[in-house]
A = this chain, B = another copy of it.
Amino acid sequence: MKKILFLLLFPILLFSKDFNPDDYEADVDKIIEAAMKSNIGWERLEYLCNNFANRLSGTPQLERTINWVYEEMHKDGLANVQKQPVMVPNWKRHYESVKVIFPMEYDIDMLGLGGSIATPQEGITAEVLVVRDKDELDRRKDEVKGKIVLFNAPFTTYGQTVQYRFYGAQWAAQYGAVASLIRSVSPIGFDNPHTGMMAYSDSIPKIPHAAITLEGAELLQRYQDKGQRATINLTMHAKHYPDAISHNVMGETKGSTLADEIISVGGHIDAWDAGQGAQDDGGGCMTTWEAVRLIDELGLNNKRTIRSVLWTNEENGAMGGKEYAKGFANEKHAMAFESDAGTFAPLVIRFKGSPEIMEQVKKFEPLLQKINPQITVDEGGGGVDISPLMDTGVPGMSLSPDDKGRYFWYHHSPADTFDKVDKEEFKQCVAAIAVTIYLYSILELE
């Protein structure tokens, strides 16, 4: 009997929950028109890059940035504007250098990796052992003791290659290396070093770990291939200071009928201490904030509350995302959206959640294609800042832009600057994010 009832009711339920994108076409048109017209988000990205570069956790400029966002969100008229305190790591690089001593004197451009310990004041001078991958290191483990290991791993995917940045110091130290270097995690090089986070293990001695340019890595590779024993000096005066206070900053546009259900959407406001953090993640912050501002300004009938959140400390600790999930655990989160893959032409809106919601979200596609006929909706959403929320069962979304491989040209390097972001593409991202979160806010999800 129960089974029969279920079979009878099921089609009716589905029908009542069914989402018809045509009903919202007029709203979507309004959003797209406003996004392509407004310069507010774009000007904010410029202001951010011009006034608040090097926003690494623990710096006064990161907190000045957050205060600026806080004030601007108030000016936008967003509701519930607040700063959530977050304790963050406080690591500073100070002076650092890589100098070839032998066979010739030569400076190699470098950036120490985030969280690395320092060398002694005068640096570490040692012979270099170059390996192309971890397998080669393991094969040559008997040659490692007392040397500086360079992982000269060419870029394949970020996910693969970043392992050397993250674990390289552990892998080298376990065989007795005195320091370790990586070839910068980037597919191309113009003498441009790329920094990023690394990790130690308590069971393995800690050694200094830094990224050098592709050019420098290839030079050291050539010495070794020619049978020349290269000697370098690595000097890093990096220092860990006591944890500092930082903040997630947020403001929202209240939902009409489901105001207690929250859609959080944002990027991370911190950045590395090189360049201006324009693509990583100034663009992600300013496009998502602008999307929420536009929905609020247009007075659309978003049923759920949409919250613009700029998370802190994504780069070297991810404490912002963690503290956010903890601090707002009492709320009902309908979805979390993160943009942290660069601000290029929007290409794929990704979703991770139940198949039933995926079926609804997939219907956004024709409306999103009004922005760019190439845009699709597909599975796979996620991100560092929203993963603590997603771990509690909250569906996640993210934007995969059409970067043509360029994101990792600039990522974590001095070349991540405002001039690398295209105004038209920026606005298309705003439109795509705004359309997505607005439509999501009116879905029937139960």
Contacts and interface: CB of A to CB of B under 8 A. Distances in A.
Interface of A: 46, 49-54, 61, 103-106, 109, 188-192, 213-215, 218-219, 222-223, 226, 228, 275-276, 409-410, 413-415, 417-419
Specify which of A49, A228, A409 lies most central, judged by the most chain B CB atoms within 10 Å of its CB. A49
A61 B190 CA distance: 24
A50 B414 contact: no
The 6 closest A-B pairs by CB, nearest first: A190-B190, A191-B414, A191-B415, A215-B417, A190-B192, A190-B415
A43 B253 CA distance: 65
A418 B219 contact: yes
Given A53-B104, A104-B50, A226-B50, A409 B215 contact: no
A418 B222 contact: yes
Contact of A413 (B54, B61, B191, B410): B191
Contacts of A214: 419
Contacts of A222: 46, 50, 418
A284 to B, nearest CB: 20
Contacts of A61: 104-105
Given A190-B192, A191-B192, A191-B275, A106 B415 contact: no
Contacts of A409: 190
A215 B415 CA distance: 7
Nearest to A410: B190
Contact of A414 (B215, B275, B410, B419): B215
Contacts of A213: 414
30 contacts: A46-B226, A50-B103, A50-B104, A50-B219, A50-B222, A50-B226, A50-B228, A51-B104, A52-B104, A54-B105, A54-B106, A61-B104, A188-B190, A189-B190, A190-B192, A190-B409, A190-B413, A190-B415, A191-B275, A191-B417, A213-B414, A214-B419, A215-B275, A215-B414, A215-B417, A218-B417, A218-B419, A219-B276, A219-B418, A222-B418
